[in-house]
C-alpha cells in the first residue's frame, strides 16, 4: 500500500516523524514524502528531518513564501504532478496550513483517499487562514483522525455522520513525539548551557501567526508586553523569519535579544525548564501542557479549548495589559497536569490502523 505524505511546515515535520515511524514498522506500507517548501529555512525545515530521523523527502517542490492564494495554487499544481506519477492508495496531510489544503485538494480531485491528521479542530474564527484550511480539508477528507473528543464532537455537530467518511479518535501525535523525544532532547540539546540559562527562570515565547505579525498594532502591543515581562524575568523568543521581517519593516525593537529559530530538540529542552510559555502557536500550547507548563495564548481564541477550560492555558489576546494580566495569573496557577486530554502516546499507531481500514485494503 503506497502512501503519499505531504508536509511543508515545521509543526508537520514533528507530526510526520511519529506517523512515518509507525508506517515504517508496517512491512505492508510504503511512504513517499513530499515537502512543499512552505518552511524552507534550514532552522525551520532541514534540521527537523535530521534530528528526528524523518526519511529525506522524495520530492521537494520549493514553493517558497508567497501570498496565500498564489502559494496554495502553486502547491496544488506541483502536488498534482507527483500524484499523477506515483498513483498512491491514499494521501496523508497534517494540520491546517496551505500545504494541508493543497495536498488534500490535489488528492481529492484525482480521487485518491485523503487522510487528515488533526481533524475536527475549530477556533470559530474564519479570519484565520488556518481555520479556513482545516474546515475545507476536513470536508474533502475520507479518514478524519481526531486528537480529542471535542474534535469528534465538532465534526458531528457539522453533520459529518452523514458524509461518506470515517471519523476516528486517534489521540494527538504530538504527544507521541513529546514522549518519544523528551529524553533524547535532554541528553542531546546544549541550548541551556549555551545561553547561560541553567538554573535561571525564564519565559519561553513564540510569535508567528499572520493575525499578529501582519498587523503592526498587534505586533507592537505583543512586543510591549514581552518587554514588560523581560524586566522581571528573562524572555526567550526564537524569532520566526516572518516575525523578524515585520519587526524590521515597522521598526519594532524589543528590549531583550531574540534568538534564531531552534530545532525540535532545543525547543523541547527550553520547554522542560521554562517557567511560563507565551505563544500564538497551536502546537506549542499543547507541548506546554505535555511538559506541565502554564501557558498564555497570544490570540483571541484557540482551537485547543480544553486547555483553557481546564485552566492550563489562558487567552491573552494581543493587548499589552490583557497579556500581562494573563501572564501573572498563569504564573500563580497550579493546575493538575495529570489529566489525560490527548491520548496515551499511541496516536501514530492508531493513524496507521485507520489507514489500513481504507476500502480495498
- Domain residue extents for the chain: 2-171+346-356, 190-332
The alpha-helical segments, DSSP class H, found in 43-97 are: 46-52, 68-86
What pLDDT is stored for residue 45 in this prediction? 54
What's domain 190-332's superfamily in CATH? Glycogen Phosphorylase B; (3.40.50.2000)
Residue 278 Ramachandran class (φ > 0 left, ψ -120 to 50 alpha, else beta)? beta
C-alpha cell, 230: 523581560
Domains 2-171+346-356 and 190-332 share a fold: yes
> 10 Å Cβ neighbour count for 27?
6
Q: What is the pTM of this model?
A: 0.88
**DSSP assignment of 136-179, as one string?**
HHHHT-SEEEESSHHHHHHHHHTTGGGSSSEEEE---HHHHHHH
Burial, 276: exposed, middle or buried (Cβ in 10 Å; 0-12, 13-18, 19+)?
buried
Question: 340, 172 in Cβ contact below 8 A?
Answer: no
> 10 Å Cβ neighbour count for 358?
16
What pLDDT is stored for residue 361 in this prediction? 65
CA 146/CA 161 separation, integer angstroms: 14
What pLDDT is stored for residue 38 in this prediction? 77
> 10 Å Cβ neighbour count for 257?
11
C-alpha cell, 94: 497534517
Question: 13, 41 in Cβ contact below 8 A?
Answer: no
What pLDDT is stored for residue 8 in this prediction? 92
* 2-171+346-356 CATH, one of 3.30.9.10, 3.40.50.2000, 3.40.228.10, 3.90.1720.10: 3.40.50.2000
Choose the catalytic residue: 112, 208, 338, 361.
208
What pLDDT is stored for residue 123 in this prediction? 93
The SS3 call for residue 28 is coil
CA 170/CA 92 separation, integer angstroms: 15
Active site residue 208: yes
In the sheet with 234-236, reading across from the earlier edge strand, the strands are 234-236, 202-206, 276-279, 295-297, 313-315
Handedness of CA 326, 198, 340, 18 (dihedral sign): positive
CA 95/CA 85 separation, integer angstroms: 25
What pLDDT is stored for residue 40 in this prediction? 57
Helices (H) and strands (E) in the chain, counts: 16, 12
| Positions in the chain whose pLDDT score sits under 70 | 39-48, 361
Q: How does pLDDT run across 167-200, given as a tens digit for each residue?
A: 999 999 999 999 899 999 999 999 999 999 999 9
CA 28/CA 25 separation, integer angstroms: 9
Amino acid at each position: 500500500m503506497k502512501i503519499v505524505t505531504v508536509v511543508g511546515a515545521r509543526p508537520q515535520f514533528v507530526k510526520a516523524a511519529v506517523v512515518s515511524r509507525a508506517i515504517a514498522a508496517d512491512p505492508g506500507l510504503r511512504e513517499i514524502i513530499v515537502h512543499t517548501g512552505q518552511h524552507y529555512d534550514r532552522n525551520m525545515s532541514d534540521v527537523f528531518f535530521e534530528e528526528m530521523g524523518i526519511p529525506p523527502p522524495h520530492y521537494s517542490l520549493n514553493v517558497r513564501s508567497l501570498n496565500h492564494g498564489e502559494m496554495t495554487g502553486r502547491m496544488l499544481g506541483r502536488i498534482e504532478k507527483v500524484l499523477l506519477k506515483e498513483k498512491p492508495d491514499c494521501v496523508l496531510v497534517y494540520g491546517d496550513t496551505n500545504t494541508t489544503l493543497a495536498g488534500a485538494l490535489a488528492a481529492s480531485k484525482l480521487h485518491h483517499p485523503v487522510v487528515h491528521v488533526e481533524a475536527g479542530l475549530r477556533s470559530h474564527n474564519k479570519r484565520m487562514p488556518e481555520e479556513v484550511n482545516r474546515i475545507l480539508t476536513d470536508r474533502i477528507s475520507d479518514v478524519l483522525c481526531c486528537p480529542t473528543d471535542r474534535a469528534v464532537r465538532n465534526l458531528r455537530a457539522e453533520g459529518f455522520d452523514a458524509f461518506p467518511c470515517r471519523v476516528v479518535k486517534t489521540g494527538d501525535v504530538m504527544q507521541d513525539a513529546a514522549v518519544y523525544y523528551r529524553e533524547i532532547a535532554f541528553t542531546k540539546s546544549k541550548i541551556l548551557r549555551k545561553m547561560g540559562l541553567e538554573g535561571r527562570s525564564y519565559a519561553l515565547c513564540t510569535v508567528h501567526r499572520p493575525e499578529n505579525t501582519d498587523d503592526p498594532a498587534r505586533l507592537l502591543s505583543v512586543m510591549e508586553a514581552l518587554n514588560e515581562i523581560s524586566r522581571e524575568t528573562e524572555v526567550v523568543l526564537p524569532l520566526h523569519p516572518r516575525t523578524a521581517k515585520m519587526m524590521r519593516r515597522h521598526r519594532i525593537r524589543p528590549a531583550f535579544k531574540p534568538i534564531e529559530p531552534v530545532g525540535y530538540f532545543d525547543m523541547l529542552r527550553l520547554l522542560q525548564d521554562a517557567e511560563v510559555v507565551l505563544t500564538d502557536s497551536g502546537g506549542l500550547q499543547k507541548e506546554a501542557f505535555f511538559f506541565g507548563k502554564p501557558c498564555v495564548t497570544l490570540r483571541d481564541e484557540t482551537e485547543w479549548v480544553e486547555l483553557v477550560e481546564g485552566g492550563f492555558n489562558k487567552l491573552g489576546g494581543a493587548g499589552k495589559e490583557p497579556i500581562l494580566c494573563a501572564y501573572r495569573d498563569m504564573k500563580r496557577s497550579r493546575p493538575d497536569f495529570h489529566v489525560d486530554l490527548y491520548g496515551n502516546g499511541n496516536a501514530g499507531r492508531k493513524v496507521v490502523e485507520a489507514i489500513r481500514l481504507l476500502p480495498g485494503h
